Every structure is written in C-alpha cells, then in structure tokens.
Amino acid sequence: MPRNVDTTLPDLKGRRAVVTGGSDGIGLHIARRLAAAGAEVVLPVRNTEKGTAAADHIRAGVPGARVSLQKLDLSSLRSVQEMSAELRSAGDPIHILVNNAGLMTPPARQVTADGFEVQFGTNHLGHVALVAGLLPLLRSGRARVVSQISVAANRGAISWSDPNWERSYDGMAAYSQSKIAMGLFAVELGRRSDEEGWGITSVLSHPGVAPTSLLSARPEVGRDDDTRSVRLIRWLSARGLIVGTAETAALPALLAATDPDATSGTMYAPRGPGHLGGGPGTQKLFSRLRSVDDARRVWTESERLVDVRFPTAADA
C-alpha cells in the first residue's frame, strides 16, 4: 500500500475543533493535522499526563499551535456532563467535533461507572452524551460532527434484547454493536439536524485497518499481551501490504471533517482494496447503517439510556 497518500486540509484559522481520543494513535494524528491547518484544538483526555505529552508533541511539530486539554472519561456520564458544562460556560462555538475515542474487545465483560457494557457505554453512549451536552456550541458553530466507526460495523448486529451483554458476552460482537449504534446515531443526527434546523452536518468515517493500541496489550482492559491480530497488522503495515498506518488511517476522518462538499450521512473511508488502507475517499454506507427505523430506534434508546432529550421544534 503506497505510503505517500494524503489529503489537503483547508485553512482552519478561527475554527475550533474537539477531538476525543486525541492523546495517541489515529486521534493524535487527526489533532495534529487540524492544528497544523490553523484550528484551535481541544483534547478531552482521561489521562492528563498522557494528554499533556500529546499536546507538547503537537506544539513541537506545529509551532504556534493552539492546543488545550479538558478532563473527560467517556465511560462516565457524570464526567461527560461536567466537561460539557464547562465548555458551555465558556461559550465558544465548536466548528468540528471528531468522536474518535474508543476501546476494543476486553477479554472479559466490563461495565462503565453507569453499569453499561464498557464498549457500548464508552464508544457509543459516551459520545451520545457528549453531542447532547455540546449541542448549543455545535449549533452556534454550525459544526461538522465526525463519528469514527469501524470496519467492524459491517458485521454483527445490535443485540436489542441484551445491549449490555449480560447473558452471553462476546467481545468482538459487543464491539461491532457499539460501532453500528454509533453509526446509526450519526445518520439520525444528520436527519434530525436537517429537520430541526440545527445547522450541524453529521458524517461518518472509518480508518480501515492500521496498527494502533486498540488490540495491543492494555492491562486496564484486562489484556496483558498484544493480540495475534495486532501482530499481523503490524507486519503487514510495515511492508506496505493491504492495511494502512496510523497516519494514513487518520485521513478519512480529516477529509470528513473538512470536505467542503460534505453532506450528512456520507461515510469516508480508505480507498484501497477492501477499504482497509490507502488514500481517503467516500464509501457507500455499510448495510447495517441504512435502516431508517433502526437509526430512529437507536436514537430513542440512547436518549433513554443516557437520560438526555434532544430539543425538537415542538419544544419551542
């Protein structure tokens, strides 16, 4: 797979971008490129030390970069509410929100502070709460909201009867569910924005496959060693075969965040074989993300689980 693929970003001076999961991996590359294009970048991070190192890395590579940190744990609705309230209090419009953070396939079932299966609660519900909490700032910035899903959203299904996997936990199936739910929510966010006049453009992206920390040894999720999958992905990536790198995997989200012709519901992805690597472009929505009824159901269930309610014209 060629390594010289890239995308050109427009001048983002005067724009404010919030990137979750921006302290390492693909998210760090997204944040650095947005800062290099002139955007003010906000990094919501769980680990302040790691976030500080990421901000320093961006400033070292982008002299004059404007980068700030916010404390955020997406697995805690209270943490999401607190950070959202702090940003709302400051009142600065948000022009780009990249919902990129996530975790993948803990070997054993874990739950969030609010009792949700940790992948569903963090990857999906945490970002739902974030969009709800930041909605006034997203509306004032006529924001582009990018939901970073996964090739895993092209398989599996939502376990409507057991979304928290209490009866029979399967790590990969639960991961796929979290990304399908995230994608359906993104599609419905675009529809609701159009219907309610929010001015938000909601698009989707996926990075293909690249060697990141998602499948690496992560004691905090109960994985003490690298998985065989990530070892294979590293081997392929190092040889330029099929998959991408962390840098190229960031490109679809960057194009999604800045494409002047973007419309809600568009999905951006690598253009290489199988959409696993290569330069960025658009891709047809995965089949699991095309049901209008499923998107509305995910929206309604997410509002109920997170205990938020998005405004409607009927509220005026």
Q: Out of 120, 165, 175, 198, which one is annotated catalytic?
A: 175
How do strand 67-71 and strand 96-99 relate by DSSP bridges? unpaired
Report yes or no: 257 and 34 within 8 Å, Cβ to Cβ: yes
Residue with tokens 């995997």: 249
Q: How far apart are CA 79 and CA 242, in angstroms?
A: 39
Q: Return the exposure string of 25-52: e unless at least 16 CB atoms fall within 10 Å of the residue's CB, then b.
A: bbbbbbbbbbbbbbbbbbbbbbeeeebe
User: 90: buried, middle or exposed (CB in 10 Å: 19+, 13-18, 0-12)?
Assistant: exposed
Closest by Cα among 110, 24, 25 to 75 = 110
Report yes or no: 286 and 278 within 8 Å, Cβ to Cβ: no
268 is catalytic: no
**Amino acid letter, 291:** S
Report yes or no: 269 and 282 within 8 Å, Cβ to Cβ: yes
Report yes or no: 117 and 111 within 8 Å, Cβ to Cβ: yes
Supply the residues annotated as catalytic. 175
